[in-house]
Amino acid sequence: MTAAEPNPGVAESSPGEVNVPGGVEVDAVLADSAVAAEGKLYLQGGAWNILSAPVLPLRVPRIGLAIAIRVPWTATNEPHVFDVRLQDADGKVHPLGDAPPEMETDDGMIHHIETTFTVGRPPLLQPGDDQIVPIAINVDGLVFESAGRYEFVIAVDGSDVKHLPLRVIQVT
């Protein structure tokens, strides 16, 4: 399947947004840094999509992803798989950083971040109410070898649900 083809089994909610079966939705923004604490997201230098540098390669001290996953009542009490990757304009996955020594990879790099989460139903939650799961990811020392378009792709339960595009520009 190419990036231009629709993903069967995934409902298109509005241009650029996709909902996975079960109604899970994702909102996200790029930031200089992000923190999730006490059910909230905290951003520093948020809502941008351009990185400029006088020389390439560009090493970015930190890129934060502030992610809010909306889980409907009907999708609680079941595990969900969350995944983030960075890809270039051709869809090639870009490394996020060095893998720890104990992690076996083909090239010694991390190419995506994946975890599983389950949202329960607290006693005071009313039937039909959604719950929001805040996730903050900070990628330190990310290197962009060339100028161009990149995007962080967020997937839930195997479906790409959010694309955060960014452009790297060389300025002289």
- CATH assignment of the domain containing 56: 2.60.40.2550
The pLDDT value recorded for residue 19 is 53
Over the stretch 14-53, which tens digit does the pLDDT of each residue have?
A: 444 555 657 899 999 999 999 999 999 999 999 999 999 9
The encoded tokens of residue 127 equal 């039937």
Average pLDDT value for residue range 114-142: 94
Backbone angles phi, psi at 94, to 5 degrees: -100, 135
Over the stretch 110-120, which tens digit does the pLDDT of each residue have?
A: 999 999 999 99
Report how far residue 112's alpha carbon sits from residue 144's, in angstroms, rounded to the nearest whole number.
16
Report how far residue 57's alpha carbon sits from residue 62's, in angstroms, rounded to the nearest whole number.
15
Cβ contact 137:35 at 8 Å: no
Which has more confidence, 11 or 105? 105
Report how far residue 160's alpha carbon sits from residue 17's, in angstroms, rounded to the nearest whole number.
9
Residue 56 resides in a domain: yes
Residue 4 resides in a domain: no
With 50 as the cut, is the pLDDT of residue 9 above it?
no
Residue 10 resides in a domain: no
With 80 as the cut, is the pLDDT of residue 5 above it?
no
The pLDDT value recorded for residue 172 is 85
Share of the chain above pLDDT 70, in %: 87
Residue 132 resides in a domain: yes
Exposed, middle or buried by CB within 10 Å (0-12, 13-18, 19+), for 86? Answer: buried
Residue 150 resides in a domain: yes
Residue 126 resides in a domain: yes
Residue 12 resides in a domain: no
Report how far residue 21's alpha carbon sits from residue 37's, in angstroms, rounded to the nearest whole number.
28
Q: What's the domain count of the chain?
A: 1
With 70 as the cut, is the pLDDT of residue 61 above it?
yes
Residue 116 resides in a domain: yes
Report how far residue 32's alpha carbon sits from residue 66's, in angstroms, rounded to the nearest whole number.
10
List the domain range (segments joined by +) for residue 90.
20-170
